[in-house]
Amino acid sequence: MSEMTFPLPDVGEGLTEAEIVSWFVAPGDTVTLNQVICEIETAKSLVELPSPFAGVVTELLVEIGQTVPVGEGILRVTVAGESAAEPAAAAPAAPAQAAAPAADAAAPAAEAPAGNAVLVGYGTGGAVKSRRRSGGEPLLAASKPSVIPVADAAPVIAKPPIRKLAKDLGVDLAGIEGTGIAGEILRDDVVRNASQVRVFRNIETPEPAAEREVRIPLKGIRKITAQAMVTSAFEAPHVSVFTDVDATRTMEFVKRLKSSTDFAGVKVSPLLIFAKAMLWAVRRNPEINSSFTETEIIRHNFVNLGIAAATPRGLIVPNIKDAQDLSLLDLARAIEQLTLTARDGRTPPADMQKGTITISNIGVFGMDFGTPILNPGEVGIMAMGTIKLKPWVVDGEVRPRMVTTVGGSFDHRVVDGDVISRFVADVASVLEEPALLLD
């Protein structure tokens, strides 16, 4: 018998600390190799950690809500013999609900035998075990799909957060056909069946708070966002350019795509056309897709397209890798997956890194326009306001048209006004005439 200590691993590039959000085991529990033992919150995402040991939990070294540095022990496990103490194969930790691994794990703590790196992954131990005590009783409520039989109907498969959203929006889950695996009802399935015009607005007005003030610790995504915005705003000289656009043909194009069998089951919105317009404009104005350093300007010949996402945990900017190579259908699927994963707080750390240019879709909040701050390390960020019916002059006559405002902020150290103007004009041209995408 020997006691092993599991140190907090580095589940993302450059991670220095993380907060323990929940434990799924307790002292005295028997754990198997790769069984999920806890969930942590980094500055970028929620991540589940599987156990690199098989044995009995001796001690939880960190309390829920506590922030610990990478490499500090969080759990002790008593294992039987050297074979039981062998860690999983060298595969990195993966965020919850993500199929791909995230990043390298940490080195072992002092208690680990020399030569045995404490690695976290899904190696030879099989699939990740469920979040239950050894006796089968759930330790904590987890966001796993739950099945509730409905009289004279098929069972409803939906996670607890999705059930709450449906209740808040007044949506009957029994009447929804889920588009997830095995018919699971997803967030977008609920939103599509909601009667509210603005599902992104506050669903209800809370009662006045009893306390005179609330102090919220600056940590996690909010902390990293604050640091990044200050750095970007005061180091990169921003210049903003915007223009009004007749997006009537874009809306008609979106309508046709929604009725196309090729796009069946895929969410299609004006954001898709805006993203494709961005990729087209980048190809024509490659200077926009660059990074600035003190010694050189790096022009990227690929596009990792960031999509700013407002989540319950704060603003994050995951990106779609090599978006320039995607067809319109593949881009639609990538945006949908990115959005759903971000809303659920399950964005893999790798998806938050190495972006080259970003989109901010403030139109979903009913805003006409705003001046976004650059994502640090990038030269351009584009925003699109709400699309709504307005009077517009066409061939000398005032007609009702679907109008929006597009534009963005740019790093004036890298791009000059003429390049910025051409880029914004190109994006606007595609929104006015999506047929340009056939070029």
Mean pLDDT calculated for residue range 70-91: 66
Cα separation, 41 vs 13, whole angstroms: 14
For residue 280, is it within any domain? yes
Averaged over 117-134, what is the pLDDT? Answer: 36
Q: Is residue 329 part of a domain?
A: yes
Please indicate whether residue 79 or residue 168 has the higher confidence score (pLDDT).
79
Tokens 């199929």 belong to 99
375 and 275 part of one domain:
yes
Q: Where are the alpha helices (DSSP H) in 260-368?
A: 270-284, 328-343
* pLDDT score of 3 more than 60: yes
Given a cut of 70, whether residue 210 has pLDDT beyond it is: yes
* d(C-alpha 48, C-alpha 94), whole Å: 7
| Cα–Cα distance measured from residue 275 to residue 307, given in angstroms and rounded to the nearest whole number | 9
Model pLDDT, residue 50: 87
Q: Is the pLDDT of residue 374 over 90?
A: yes
According to the model, what pLDDT value does residue 431 have?
96
Q: Are residues 78 and 109 in the same domain?
A: yes
% the chain with pLDDT above 90: 40
* 3-state secondary structure at position 372: coil
Does 164 share its domain with 98? no
Q: Is residue 136 part of a domain?
A: no
Q: Do residue 174 and residue 112 come from a single domain?
A: no
Residue that is last in its domain, among 166, 192, 218: 192
The answer, yes or no, to whether residue 283 has pLDDT greater than 60, is: yes
Q: What angle do CA 338, 343, 349 make, to 5 degrees?
A: 60
**In this structure, are 177 and 33 located in the same domain?**
no
**CATH at residue 163:** 4.10.320.10
175 and 256 assigned to the same domain: no
Q: Do 283 and 414 fall into the same domain?
A: yes
Cβ atoms within 10 Å, residue 26:
11
- Asked whether the beta carbons of 11 and 105 are under 8 A apart, the reply is yes
Q: Looking at residues 31-41, what average pLDDT do you find?
A: 87
pLDDT digits (tens, 9 = 90+) for 407-423: 999 999 999 999 999 99
Q: Are residues 77 and 185 in the same domain?
A: no
Q: Which residue's entry shows tokens 């790769």?
A: 34
Residue 328 forms part of a structural domain:
yes
Q: Are 318 and 307 in contact (CB under 8 A)?
A: yes
Compute φ and ψ for 7, nearest 5 degrees: -85, 155
219 is a domain residue: no
Measured CA to CA, the distance from residue 364 to residue 335 in angstroms comes to 15
Q: What is the pLDDT of residue 40?
A: 87
H/E run at residue 238: strand 238-246
- Reported as a single tens digit per residue, the pLDDT across 308-364 is 988 777 788 999 999 999 999 999 999 999 988 887 778 888 888 899 999 998 888
Is the residue at 167 inside a domain? yes
State CA 291 to chain mean position distance: 22
Run of H or E including 225: helix 220-235
pLDDT of residue 86: 42
- 110 with 162, same domain? no
Structurally, the chain folds into a number of domains equal to 3
> Do 183 and 284 share a domain, yes or no?
no
Domain range for 169 is: 146-192
Q: Which of 331, 344, 432 is nearest to 164 (CA)?
A: 344
Provide the angle, in degrees to the nearest 10, between the axes of the packed helices 270-284 and 248-259: 120
Q: Does residue 171 sit in the same domain as residue 63?
A: no
Is residue 352 situated within a structural domain? yes
pTM reported for the whole predicted model: 0.60
Kindly state whether residues 115 and 239 are assigned to the same domain. no
Question: Of the residues 412, 422, 429, 437, which is catalytic?
Answer: 412
Rounded distance between C-alpha atoms, residue 331 and residue 312, angstroms: 25
Answer yes or no: is pLDDT of 106 > 60.
no
Query: Which residues, in sequence order, are CB contacts of 246 under 8 Å at separation 6+?
Result: 392, 394, 401, 402, 403, 432
Continuous H helices in 124-201:
160-169, 187-192
Q: Quick one: tokens of 402? A: 């679907």
pLDDT surpassing 90 at residue 246 = yes
Q: What is the mean pLDDT of residues 136-146?
A: 41
Q: Does residue 144 contact residue 96 with C-beta atoms inside 8 Å?
A: no
| CATH number for the domain that contains residue 35 | 2.40.50.100
The domain that holds 286 is classified in CATH as 3.30.559.10
Residue 80 is predicted with a pLDDT of: 77
Show the tokens assigned to 260: 């196309």
Q: What is the pLDDT of residue 357?
A: 97
Residue 412 designated active-site: yes
Structure tokens at 63: 């309390």
Measured between alpha carbons, how far is residue 2 from residues 27, 119, 146, 321 in Å?
16, 18, 38, 44
d(CA 122, CA 89): 7
The Cα angle at residue 10 between residues 131 and 95, in degrees rounded to 5: 40
Is residue 236 pLDDT above 50, yes or no? yes
333: in domain: yes
Contact 308, 317 (CB under 8 A): yes
Range of weakest confidence among 114-128, 300-314, 322-336: 114-128
Q: How many CB atoms lie within 10 A of CB 179?
A: 17
- In sign, the C-alpha dihedral spanning 236, 240, 241, 242 is positive
CA dihedral in degrees (69, 72, 77, 83; nearest 10)? 110
Of 8-12, 139-143, 172-176, 386-390, the range with the lowest mean pLDDT is 139-143
